Amino acid sequence: MVAEPALPAEVGRIQIRGVCAFGHRWDVDAVGTEGYVRLARDPDRPPD
């Protein structure tokens, strides 16, 4: 998924981790006019 943020430079970056929606947990990241929504990593799963 892609987000379309419009953050002023004074705000910088916004990260929201573990948002519950559509039966999954998501991480949302926004910087300026670029944004991303990714499946959140399972905290019990070891890194790849």
Other CB atoms within 10 A of residue 32 CB: 13
* The pLDDT of residue 40: 93
* The pLDDT of residue 19: 92
* The pLDDT of residue 47: 59
* The pLDDT of residue 48: 56
* pLDDT tens for the 48 residues of the chain, in order: 777 889 888 999 999 999 999 999 999 999 999 999 999 987 676 655
Domain residue ranges of the chain, discontinuous segments joined by +: 2-39
pTM value surpassing 0.75: no
